[in-house]
Amino acid sequence: MNLLKNNFMRKLTVIWNALKLHTAATAGSYSIIFFSKKWIFALLLILATMISPVAGLTGLAGTIFTNLLAWLIGLPEGKIRSGLYGFNGLLVSLAIGAFFQFTPALCLLLPVAMAITLLFTVLLDGFLGKYQLPFLSLPFLFALWLVILAWIGDSGNSLIGNISISESFFIPEIFRTCEKALTARLPEIIQFYFKGLASIFFSQSVLAGLIIAAGILIFSRIAFLLSILGFTSAVVYYQAVGIAIDSTNIMQFGFNYILTAIALGGFFYIPSAGSFLISVAATPIISLFFSASAQALSKLGLAPYSLPFNVIVISVLYVLMFRVRNFRWIQPAVVQTYSPENNLYGHHNDVFRFGKFVLPVSIPVTGPWKITQGHDGKETHRDEYRHAWDFQLADEHDSVFRQSGTVLKDYYCFEKPVYAPADGVVEETVNDIPDNPVREINQTHNWGNTVVIRHTPYLFSKLSHLKEQSILLKKGDPVKKGDIIGLVGNSGRSPFPHLHFQLQSTPFIGSHTLQYPLSSFYILKNGNTEFVEQGIPEQNQTVMALLPDLSLRRVFHLIPGMEIEMAISGNNGVSQKVVWNVMSDMTNQYYIKCSKTNAVAYFTIRNDVFYFLSYYGSRKTLLYKFYTGFHKIITGIEKTAVSHDRIPINMGKFKSLLLLQDFVAPFVRFITFSYSSRSEKLNENPLSQTIQINTEAVQKVFGIKLWNMRSCMTINPSGGISILFEENNKTISVQCNVTYSY
């Protein structure tokens, strides 16, 4: 009996999961046409298509069939769920429902057309995917052209020939009344904009276009602006060149100008003045291409539909892949969030945090060192060799040597260890050049004893003037960041002991320097310490590489399998428990998931700094407070060091203000969401050490503080963790208990 019950429950679970998959796939097939994954947007698009019930129901049936077929033949469920396999089927089935009268033969045509569409989708996904290019609506074009050609070519005998083209779009009376009211009240140009949107779904209904426009506005204010920009630029261009705007070319506006503007202006590229400019610049090219392709295809009885959109967008993406210089005004959306706003805010946050350089390179020495010659130094760092640093140790009197400074051992830095600045492989070494006496140089061997390390195919580090026979590595040896390379010496063209350090793009000892920043270091000045995420230290600055504290690093070393139990108590005395699980997704990205609310916060550890990357879920959860309150934690401890960061402004409070910000975000941002943190040891006893982290998150609008939250984490000597959150005069106390679920 239990066995039968278990089998029944297992089958029920399978059916339930399949229903969820196909429900999501159906919704995704609608919203993905506008590069969205919003359910509410998908429902509005479905409603818009149902204004013409025959076309709408045919489109829905075709979408469900396409996704079901993709699932039955075993295509990836992730792509099915997102609608990538279904949206071209939706467009083809909408076209069939709109162009052909409803007959029993239509029911036979639809599955055949959907199978052909899916075939084209998979083929183009595989082909264009190799070049990291999207297939867009090309499968729709090829499949629809095939269907129409079959109807034209054999109208007397073929299956398609038994279905005749519909002369009008059927609209129910309730929709017809609304349509008449809108047509009577709205200016003609606004009607034409709505009809352009509706034409994407093979409708000319103003009401359908209004519903679609409302959906776009709910989904993305930037996408809404871009839809207007694409439409307006086309209207202005048509008027300038004398092309009439009427119902015969309405499909050009929706399928081509509007979708191209959204694609290039806010989806594939970060929304900016540059991306908006590209969207406008595409207008005359689309018009020319549409006219030419319409002439060519008319001989076959076909129309271009979305052909210009596909060709122009794919061409722009492909051409800009070959740029050798990247400009700030046009940046690709590397991390795709299916939201122009999230793409924009996330991009600006990542640029502020990580800059444009992928590999973090650390200062190759430990403790406070003075930069006695920096970039563009007057002595030797000039011309092709200007991007380099010379490091020396200095005392409290700013002297780099003790006693008279006439012998090598008088210099504080002499024979101090030098470390690998990043992971890599030893490319070249020189280890047998004698050290010079003080104030003498070796003009024959300029760089002295040197190690060159390859970090990437185009990034190398060079450490020179090392002590004779101190280099512990040979060519081909792998190195990890922090491995000892050798000792500071005085070999080569070096009158005083110092370390010469530079980055370069080629593997030779005499290579020219490369301007490339260092990561995760402190600048010590006037008793204060500033943490620098990424930057180029300057001459006469005293800098120090981040040295992680083992206790602090252990707390934020979160790995999949951990279970974190949070015991919460507030001002009202009510206590509750929340359980978080540390997990990883299919791309091996780590995240924390709240088992109660399903809220998710992604994080990473980069160069011994803990970062939260993104958050999905309610803003009322404890996980959101943790995401905001501990957005970035440096695992090193310097008492006076304050770390600053930004939180994406779409992660803040005041959603009504954020809606206004969205409209102007590509050009100006009047909302800021700043973050600062400071870590310190409350006592210096290494056997009984308590660590405290104090942070503050502040949201401002036009420079006026509207919201802030202070957070304090205390890590006691036994490893126990307690947290306090203070927000709006309310305090929440949390006790953490970390265990493993495996």
Q: Is residue 437 part of a domain?
A: yes
Integer Cα distance of 579 and 593 in angstroms? 9
Residue 700's SS3 state is strand
Residue 552's SS3 state is helix
The predicted model gives 443-467 an average pLDDT of: 94
Residue type, 643: S
Looking up residue 721, the CATH number of its domain turns out to be 2.40.128
Question: Beta strand pairing status for 641-646 and 528-535?
Answer: parallel
Question: Beta strand pairing status for 542-545 and 368-373?
Answer: antiparallel
522, 545, 568 - which closes a domain: 545
For 101, phi then psi, to 5°, come to -70, 150
Residues 134-179 pLDDT 10s = 999 999 999 999 988 887 654 443 434 333 334 344 556 777 788 7
**What DSSP designation does 401 have?**
B
Residues 46-71 pLDDT 10s = 999 998 888 899 999 999 999 999 99
Are residues 392 and 344 part of one domain? no
Question: Which uninterrupted H or E stretch holds 529?
Answer: strand 528-535
Nearest to 260 by CA among 241, 244, 240, 280: 280
Are residues 555 and 540 part of one domain? no
Are residues 519 and 480 part of one domain? yes
| Neighbouring C-alpha atoms within 13 Å toward the C-beta of 367 | 10
- Specify the pLDDT at position 159: 37
Contact 615, 642 (CB under 8 A): no
For 10, phi then psi, to 5°, come to -65, -45
Residues 606-651 pLDDT 10s = 888 899 999 999 999 999 999 999 999 998 887 778 888 999 999 9
Residues listed for the chain? 742
User: In this structure, what token pair is assigned to residue 531?
Assistant: 């943490």
Q: Is residue 179 part of a domain?
A: no
pTM: 0.83
Cα angle 106, 112, 113 (rounded to 5 degrees) comes to 80
Integer Cα distance of 297 and 374 in angstroms? 64
The predicted model gives 502-515 an average pLDDT of: 94
DSSP secondary structure string for all residues of 477-502: -EE-TT-EEEEB--BSS-SS--EEEE
Q: Is residue 488 part of a domain?
A: yes
Percent of the chain at pLDDT > 90 equals 62
Sign of the four-CA dihedral 154, 160, 164, 165: negative
Are residues 559 and 532 part of one domain? no
Residues 102-111 pLDDT 10s = 777 777 888 9
pLDDT band at 572 (very low <50, low <70, confident <90, very high): low
Contact 441, 493 (CB under 8 A): yes
| Neighbouring C-alpha atoms within 13 Å toward the C-beta of 475 | 9
Residues 539-554 pLDDT 10s = 999 999 988 888 888 8
Residues 356-377 pLDDT 10s = 666 889 999 999 999 999 999 8
CA distances from 307 to 132, 139, 144, 728 (A): 19, 11, 12, 55
Are residues 392 and 540 part of one domain? yes
The predicted model gives 556-570 an average pLDDT of: 87
Integer Cα distance of 516 and 389 in angstroms? 12
493, 521, 545 - which closes a domain: 545
Q: What is the mean pLDDT of the chain?
A: 89
Are residues 732 and 637 part of one domain? yes
Percent of the chain at pLDDT > 70 equals 94
Are residues 627 and 517 part of one domain? no
Are residues 485 and 412 part of one domain? yes
Quote the number of domains for the chain: 4
Residue 645's SS3 state is strand
- Specify the pLDDT at position 255: 85
Are residues 284 and 160 part of one domain? no
321, 353, 385 - which closes a domain: 353
Give the residue numbers spanning the domain of 577.
Answer: 550-740
Are residues 729 and 598 part of one domain? yes
Q: Is residue 445 part of a domain?
A: yes
For 2, phi then psi, to 5°, come to -65, -35
Integer Cα distance of 484 and 487 in angstroms? 8
Q: Is residue 274 part of a domain?
A: yes
- Specify the pLDDT at position 573: 59
Q: Picking from 38-52, 165-179, 401-415, 481-495, which range would have the lowest pLDDT averaged per residue?
A: 165-179
Q: Is residue 557 part of a domain?
A: yes
Looking up residue 305, the CATH number of its domain turns out to be 1.10.3430.10
Nearest to 431 by CA among 471, 465, 462: 471
The position carrying tokens 């871009």 is: 226
Residues 186-244 pLDDT 10s = 898 999 999 999 999 998 889 999 999 999 999 999 999 999 999 999 999 999 988 87
Q: Is residue 213 part of a domain?
A: no
Q: Is residue 71 part of a domain?
A: yes
- Specify the pLDDT at position 604: 92
CA distances from 127 to 124, 134, 260, 400 (A): 5, 10, 22, 62
Q: Where are the beta strands (DSSP E) in 176-295?
A: none
Contact 255, 199 (CB under 8 A): yes
Looking up residue 446, the CATH number of its domain turns out to be 2.70.70.10
The position carrying tokens 């590489």 is: 545
The predicted model gives 699-720 an average pLDDT of: 91
Question: Which uninterrupted H or E stretch holds 582?
Answer: strand 575-584
Are residues 323 and 396 part of one domain? no
Are residues 250 and 121 part of one domain? no
Counting beta carbons within 10 angstroms of the beta carbon of residue 571, is it exposed (0 to 12), middle (13 to 18) or buried (19 or more)?
exposed
- Specify the pLDDT at position 221: 95
Contact 651, 595 (CB under 8 A): no
Residue 423's SS3 state is coil
- The maximal CA–CA distance of the chain, rounded, in angstroms, is 107
